[in-house]
Amino acid sequence: MAQPDPTPHPIDHVLRGDADAIALEDRAGALTFAEAESAVARLAGWLAGFDLPPGSRVASWLPKTRDACFLPLAAPRAGLVHVPINPVLKRAQVAHILADSGARLLVTQPSRTASLEPGDVPAGVMVAEAAGQGDPLPPGTADPDTLAAILYTSGSTGRPKGVMLSHANLWLGAVSVAHYLRLTPDDRVLGVLPLSFDYGQNQLFSTWQAGARVIPLDYLTPRDVVKAVARHSATTLAGVPPLWVQLLESDWGDAGATLRRLTNSGGALTPRLVRALRERFPHADLYPMYGLTEAFRSTYLDPALVDAHPDSIGRAIPFAEVMIVRPDGSQAAPDEPGELVHAGPLVAQGYWQDHERTAHRFRPAPSWSRSGGTAVWSGDTAVADPDGLLRFVGRDDEMIKSAGNRISPTEIEEAVVAGGEAVQAVAIGVPDPRLGQAIVVVVRGDPAREGDLRARLRRDLPSFMQPARYDWRDDLPRNANGKLDRAALTKSVRTGDGQ
């Protein structure tokens, strides 16, 4: 397969389909590429009417409305930086993202505004409960290295951190994915993933880059996905492992007959899950993939190799260089585990206003790197076989991976102790066949108040951050430095030796 064009452009140029072809389809009908371009132009003009300084941040907290789909293009066209907020987040997370990003404008809905409390929206932030239309702005002329978006992702400690993505990052990611997925103008891509998730947002961009149709879907049950595949004759479906588990338990009938490709990221597929997907959708190509927001999509496995290598995450995608590195910085030998390091033009620009964490994660590439420059040192462990196929081994940090979400234990712990039901808390991920990991919180406090604690967290945290179980203790162990011994607690919870 010939390599795609590596020339970056402003991301709002991505609507590249034939003018009369369908770019977006939803319950309200369909929009052609010409109509979508006009909508982006008018939305950009509306944003420009706020007279914000170039580079100002515009946050959106919306379900998959048409405005939510077009804001990632309209904001950069207006010289602004888009900050999408996951619609399932609750007021505390929204307040943090608004304050941390320094957003000047929040585009949302009345029902969401009503859920906020005084002080959640920082002083000086304008709130628009509906997007408007202005004089249309022509396609942008921004330098591709200009910041275009900040996507918030949880870190191993503390609250969500903003990953800075340039026009070039977004553009080349769209070109790369459209290329290796072999998307064509007659594809119909069902978008079930959040648009605040780099994987979900890229579905918009890569689909439009290929001149194809995207069908955004907010779903409540797996059955909603099955019915949408049938209703729209979808050819492409992307998911994360927990969703695939649910979808395999659903009655598909003939609904999946139009699917040509399934793509997975947000967690490695197990060989058992690979086999089940291949059996249920024998005519669909399966693309296991791996990535992280800081370096976008990093690897994919050619569908022709899936049956023989069901535990592999494949090789580097176009424009990415992926290396396995020893602790001393040298290249790991075949079959030798090492840190997964990413280099090339898909590497993000760092964390927004967080020089310390940027310096830790974004460091010079190894001296033997082809790409050079700044690399993302993922903290993940992987191994390459003699043929260069990569296999994910595990995460070296303490992130909890549940239902396709990377969750900060610290954020859960802070929420648990905030109400006084518990005085100490440590959140731990334990293996779970449906979620990947379930959240167990080891707590010291009053067990009789667990009902109050659960009720409060249902109000304060999104569903994917709700603990599955509480392990109440009289005391929590500490290490030599006086800190809570997370490693010991993790071991005791996972082995059942905590009581």
User: What CATH number did the domain enclosing 466 receive?
Assistant: 3.30.300.30
- The single-letter DSSP state of residue 140 is P
Instruction: Check whether residue 372 and residue 414 sit in a common domain.
Output: no
Query: And the tokens for 113?
Result: 């505004």
Answer whether residue 6 is part of any domain: no
Answer whether residue 15 is part of any domain: yes
Q: What's the pLDDT band for 381 if we cut at 50, 70, 90?
A: confident
Q: E strands of 77-192, at which residues? A: 81-84, 105-107, 126-128, 147-153, 161-166, 188-191
Q: What's the pLDDT band for 486 if we cut at 50, 70, 90?
A: confident
How many other β-carbons are positioned within 10 Å of the β-carbon of residue 492? Answer: 18
| Distance in angstroms (rounded) separating the CA atoms of residues 151 and 172 | 17
Residue 157 confidence (pLDDT) above 80: no
Answer whether residue 373 is part of any domain: yes
Choose among 160, 192, 142: nearest CA to 83: 160
Instruction: Check whether residue 48 and residue 16 sit in a common domain.
Output: yes
pLDDT reported for residue 481: 42
Instruction: Check whether residue 230 and residue 333 sit in a common domain.
Output: yes
What is the separation of C-alpha 310 from the centre of its chain, rounded to a whole number of angstroms? 23
Answer whether residue 158 is part of any domain: yes
Instruction: Check whether residue 405 and residue 349 sit in a common domain.
Output: no
Q: Would you say the C-alpha torsion 129, 130, 131, 132 has a positive or negative sign?
A: negative
Instruction: Check whether residue 360 and residue 482 sit in a common domain.
Output: no
Instruction: Check whether residue 348 and residue 462 sit in a common domain.
Output: no
Query: And the tokens for 430?
Result: 């334990």
Instruction: Check whether residue 112 and residue 245 sit in a common domain.
Output: yes
Answer whether residue 438 is part of any domain: yes
Instruction: Check whether residue 347 and residue 432 sit in a common domain.
Output: no
pLDDT reported for residue 483: 65
> Can you tell me the mean pLDDT for 300-321?
96
pLDDT reported for residue 156: 39
State which of 367, 393, 419 marks the end of a domain.
393
Q: Name beta bridge partners: 190.
A: 215, 237
Answer whether residue 3 is part of any domain: no
What is the separation of C-alpha 115 from the centre of its chain, rounded to a whole number of angstroms? 24
Answer whether residue 90 is part of any domain: yes
Query: And the tokens for 489?
Result: 């607690």
| Distance in angstroms (rounded) separating the CA atoms of residues 44 and 154 | 29
* Cβ atoms of 379 and 385 closer than 8 Å: no
Residue 468 confidence (pLDDT) above 90: yes
Q: Name beta bridge partners: 325.
A: 331, 339
Q: Name beta bridge partners: 432.
A: 436
> Can you tell me the mean pLDDT for 100-106?
98
The count of structural domains within the chain is 2
Query: And the tokens for 239?
Result: 């998911």
Choose among 212, 217, 204, 215: nearest CA to 187: 212
Instruction: Check whether residue 306 and residue 341 sit in a common domain.
Output: yes
Choose among 442, 455, 451, 452: nearest CA to 412: 442
* Cβ atoms of 394 and 381 closer than 8 Å: yes
Q: Given the structure tokens 């950069």, which residue do they identify?
A: 76
Q: What's the pLDDT band for 154 if we cut at 50, 70, 90?
A: low
Residue 44 confidence (pLDDT) above 90: yes
Instruction: Check whether residue 36 and residue 140 sit in a common domain.
Output: yes
Q: What is the CATH number of the domain that holds 297?
A: 3.40.50.12780
Q: What's the pLDDT band for 397 if we cut at 50, 70, 90?
A: low
pTM, rounded to two decimals: 0.86
pLDDT reported for residue 272: 80
Answer whether residue 151 is part of any domain: yes
DSSP 29-44: EEEEHHHHHHHHHHHH
Q: How high is the mean pLDDT of the chain?
A: 93
Q: List the single range of 131-145, 297-311, 400-414 with lowest mean pLDDT.
A: 400-414
* Cβ atoms of 382 and 391 closer than 8 Å: yes
> Can you tell me the mean pLDDT for 445-467?
94
The b/e string for 360-371 (b: 16+ C-beta within 10 A; e otherwise) is: ebbeebbeebeb
State which of 344, 363, 393 marks the end of a domain.
393
Q: What's the pLDDT band for 240 if we cut at 50, 70, 90?
A: confident
Instruction: Check whether residue 304 and residue 155 sit in a common domain.
Output: yes
Instruction: Check whether residue 347 and residue 451 sit in a common domain.
Output: no
Domain range enclosing 434:
400-495
State which of 393, 417, 440 marks the end of a domain.
393
pLDDT reported for residue 155: 44
